[in-house]
Amino acid sequence: MNSTSFRMPARRLATVATATALAAGPVALTGVSPAHATGDHGRASAVVLRTGLDVSLLNKSVEAPLAVSLNEVQAPRSAEKTALTARLDGVNGGQPFSVLRAEVAEARATATAAKAEGSTTLARARVHVPGLPLLSVIEIEQVTAKAVCEAGKKPVATTDLPGSVTVLGKRVTLSAGGPTDVEVPGVGDVRLDLSKTRTTTRTAAATALELKVSVNPSKLNVAEVNGTLTLAEATCETPKAAPAAQPPAEPSDAPAEVEPQGAPAEEGLADTGGSSTTPYVMGGAIALLAAGGGAVALARRRS
């Protein structure tokens, strides 16, 4: 007797496979999305000159701060104004007075998702404070400051200074070894801090010159001018790194597997192609054979 196995009709099998594929379709599509990446732009700033001075007249009729800046910009901007004036009551007859004049006074700041950069250039410049209209606090040939923060790289801060400057009318050789002090009797004194740079993992800052000024000129109707002057400053902050773009999920091309309906296959039946329904089918076949044998015997007796 040949062994008999149960097979699902081809039409029903196709119907089940189609239903399984349709059910799996939405599940595969939920993982599909366009690849994208986002990140914040960096930050940058630059300034040619910034003052933070306290001014007091001899008769104390004026006690006022002088806080002005030239070409102070934040990304994305640039400025190239070459003169700065200010006005203080009781100084220069109430008329504007010159704080800085230069042939070149340029500040630039840019920022993108990849790099932030600030830079400043000051050339052939003279800086004045109230009460000293004819004597410059400092005369300088050229200074530059630059700060660059690029994604994936260490921030960089640099400055460039001349070999010498003129402070309160005195020619001074600049030294990288530390601050330079200049004192002029009857006028005042100035301390120069040179080429100050600092960096962190995400930021950079560069200052070409910072002057600490204490001026007390005789017989010029100015009692005291104290404070700081900052020349050529640039800063930056590295853009925040964008998260890596995730590739879209792709639906699998493999055909859906379809398992026969009913109880799970019993061990030992899979080798012959049988299933748990096979015993019932074979039992039915044996019953039919038995019935057939009985019918043949009865026919022989009648004959």
Task: Quick: pLDDT tens for 283-300.
Answer: 444 443 344 444 444 444
Same-domain check for residues 160 and 282: no
Residue 68 is encoded by which pair of tokens?
Answer: 């002005």
- Dihedral in degrees, nearest 10, Cα atoms 157, 107, 91, 64: -50
Q: Are residues 225 and 280 in the same domain?
A: no
| Overall average pLDDT of the 225-243 stretch | 89
| Residue 14 neighbours by CB under 8 Å, 6+ apart | none
Residues 230 and 294 in one domain: no
Are 293 and 183 members of one domain? no
Pair 180, 278 in one domain: no
The answer as to whether 117 is a domain residue is yes
Say whether both 174 and 110 belong to one domain: yes
The answer to whether residues 283 and 227 belong to one domain is no
Q: Which domain holds residue 278?
A: 269-303
| Domains identified in the chain, total number | 2
Across residues 211-234, what is the average pLDDT? Answer: 84
Q: Name the residue with higher pLDDT: 92 or 72.
A: 72
- Whether residue 180 is found in the same domain as residue 225: yes
Q: Does 292 reside within a domain?
A: yes
275 and 232 together in one domain: no
Pair (233, 273) in one structural domain:
no
- Determine, yes or no, domain membership for 259: no
Residue 65 placed within a domain: yes
Residue percentage of the chain with pLDDT more than 90: 46
Q: Does the structure show a pLDDT above 60 at 4?
A: no
Please say if the pLDDT value at position 188 is more than 70.
yes
Q: Which stretches within the chain are classed as H helix?
A: 10-29, 278-302
Which residue in 77, 145, 144 sits closest to 111, CA to CA?
77
One domain for residues 192 and 301: no
What pLDDT is attached to residue 120? 97
Q: Which of 258 and 171 is assigned the larger pLDDT?
A: 171
Per-residue confidence at 63, pLDDT binned at 50, 70, 90? Answer: confident
Burial of 90: CB neighbours in 10 Å, binned 0-12, 13-18, 19+: middle
2, part of any domain: no
The Cβ of residue 269 has, within 10 Å, a number of other Cβ atoms equal to 15
Nearest to 276 by CA among 289, 287, 263: 263
Is 6 contained in some domain? no
Asked whether residue 27 carries a pLDDT value surpassing 50, the answer given is no
Structural contact between residues 151 and 114, judged by C-beta atoms closer than 8 angstroms: yes
Task: Verify that 163 and 297 share a domain, yes or no.
Answer: no
29 located within any domain:
no
